[in-house]
Each structure stands twice: as structure tokens, then as C-alpha cells.
Structure 1
Amino acid sequence: MTDTESFPLQRVFNVADLKPEGVDFTVETTPEERAALAAFLDLPAIHALTGAFHLSGNDRRVTVRGDVRAAIVQTCTVSLEPFDASVHEEVEVMFADPELPQAEPREPRDPESELDAPDDLIDGQIDLGALTAEFLALGLDPYPRKPGVEFLYDDGVAGNESPFAALSGLKQAVSGNKE
């Protein structure tokens, strides 16, 4: 996502507009944006996509909390049929001015209980459209399966004969030929 000019979903928030009590920001998508994002994520369709966020902090460090909800169409990895699915992802991301010094931890950190390192504020702005798309992508099932579809494997071997039984039969046939 280096070329922000061509990314299909952009909603830029200028952190200079952040109020002491915080700011609520909702990303509502247009049909054109959803179609472009569906193509970008290789999805058959995105019917609805919304990001609801609360931004708090100051112009040098901002915390974004909220959620991303989507109604999408995915392709079943078993039957290759399209089916409707939904995505709901909780969002909690911190952004910081890259020029801010990072405090050194005094004791070892528990990686399970802490947020990742802050993302960089770029030119005092946060693209909440890109954040919405990122959390949608994170919420996608990498191996989607249409409800009710099962994967049934048939190896072509009749009955419950194991591969070792077939090898045993082959061994007997070979040793029978030597006599």
C-alpha cells in the first residue's frame, strides 16, 4: 500500500483536528469503492463495509479504537461456489509521530498483553479508509467454506484395504513367482 493515490479506499483524518475529548469518525463506503476494494482483495463482491472509530490523544500520539463490519461474498474453497459471509473485526491501533523518542521498557514485556509498536503518523494524517480495508482483509477467512459443504476425500481404493495390505499382496506375488 505504498501508492496511496491508487488505493481504492481513502478517508484521511488530519490529527490537528483532534479534540481533547476525542473524535468519532465513520467510514461509509460507496458502491464504486466497494467494487474496487473487492477486486483488490480478490472477492466476488462486498455488499456493505463500514468502519466506526473513536480517535483520542493529541497531534503526536493517537489511539484509534472501533470496529469494522462488512457483508461480503466469498468463494467456497471446496465447491468453488460463491456464498454470503460477514466480517466483524475489533480495531485498536496506536499511531505516533516517528520523531517521538520511544521509552525503553523497565521489565520484560508480555507480548500477549500489549499492543504492537505504534504505526507512524505520516504528515500528521491517518488514513482511516486504508485502516478499514486492512482490518477487513485481516478478518477474511483464508479458506472459506460455504455452510453445509463438506470435503470428502476418495482415494479410489475400494473397501478398507490399507496401502500396507496392497504391499503385502505384492510381496507375496513376487515371492510366489520365485518358487
Structure 2
Amino acid sequence: MTDPHAERSPVSRSLEVARLPAKGETVTIEADAAQRAALADAHGLLSVERFSAELIARPWKRGGVRVTGHLAAEITQACVVTLEPLAARVEEEIAALFVPEDSRLSRPTAQSGEMVVEAEGEDVPETFTGGRIDLGALAEEFFALGIDPYPRKEAARLEIPAGGEDGGGEAGPLFAQLRKLREKG
């Protein structure tokens, strides 16, 4: 997301950290048709009908940024059983911290060389370079996390013939070979 060599997000929205007002800045992202098509392609979806995010970026500690907000999207996926189109909704709350790459907050503690992470605490801050953060890429990351990796229609069932996968009464040549090996041993 903050790597200058990383591929740009279809919904990229750059925020210049040095120009961030003390009270923060609201950034609204509403993907157009071309951006939605690129998101669908990038995430293996049949289509993205709607993608919108409202983010608030506020200064945090020395040179850092706290981003909070909400993402809403409507997508169409292929059912993993029937491959039929399946409409789904993605709703995600967004929360992230960013610090400049030279910040002491991005480095492990000097004494132990470890970074203390609390299970219920805030995430470890991500670093950024060049004084910019891509808020669109952040929204896309949360979008990807909200997509069901195995979408299935309510009544979809995988039917296996009663006689095994090949439909015959025998288990097949592989099982015959295994049975012979077991009888020898």
C-alpha cells in the first residue's frame, strides 16, 4: 500500500501527510465503472456493482496518521458449487495507523529487539515513504478482507453418485491397487 514499487490500486487516492490539517481530512472514494471493473478483475469477481468508502485521516503522534472509516461494496461472485452468479455485500470498518519510515514507532524496542503487540490493542503502525499515503489502496485491502473466499448459494449441494466418483459400483483401479498392496503386507 505504501511501497512505491507496488502496483497502483484501481481506486488510488493519495494523501499528502505534510498538508494534513490538525483537525483531519475526510476522503470519500466512489469507484466509477472502469475502477469497479478493475477491482472485479483484480479480486476474481464477476462484477463490482458499487464500491464506496468514507475515510477520516487525522494526525497521530509525531508525523503519523490515523485513518478510520467505513467501506461498503456490492459484488457478484461465482458460487463455488454451481458457478452461478451470487450477489454479496461487503461492509468493513477501516482502522489503520501510519508512521514515516524513519519514525522510532516503526522500529523494534532497543532493549529486546522485539515489538510488543497486544492482541486487543491497536495494530502495529505501517510505514510510508515519500510523505504520501494511498488511502484508496488501504480501502482496497479492507475490501479484499471482506470478500467471502468460498461463496455458496443457500441450497447449493455437490451431488456425488452413489457408486463413487465414477458412478460405477467398483471403487476404481487405484483402490484395487491399494487393496493388493494391503493384502501383501
The question of a shared fold, defined as TM-score above 0.5 by the shorter chain, is answered with: yes
After superposition, residues 47-66 of structure 1 pair within 5 angstroms as: 47-57=49-59, 60-66=63-69
The separation in 1 between residues aligned to 2:51 and 2:6, in whole angstroms, is 19
C-alpha separation between the residues in 1 aligned to 2:39 and 2:156? 29
Amino acid at match of 2:24: G
| Structure 1 segment 4-153 matched on structure 2, within 5 A | 4=6, 6-57=8-59, 60-102=63-105, 104=109, 111-146=118-153, 148-153=154-159
Q: CA deviation at 1:9?
A: 2.3
Report the TM-score when normalising by structure 1.
0.77
Letter aligned with residue 37 of structure 1: L
State how far apart, in whole Å, the 2-side matches of 1:157 and 1:110 are.
53
Moved over 4 A (4+): 1-6
Instruction: Let me know the Cα RMSD of the aligned residues.
Output: 2.7
**Paired residues, number:** 158
The offset of 1:88, in angstroms, is 0.3
Encode CA deviations 1:108-156: one digit per residue, 9 max, x unaligned.
956321122111122111111111111110000010112x223255461
Q: Which runs of 5+ in 1 are unaligned?
A: 159-179
Q: SS of 1:150's equivalent?
A: coil
CA deviations over 1:64-108 (Å, ceiling 9, x no partner)? 001111010011111110111100011100000111113749xx9
Using structure 2 for the length normalisation, give the TM-score: 0.75
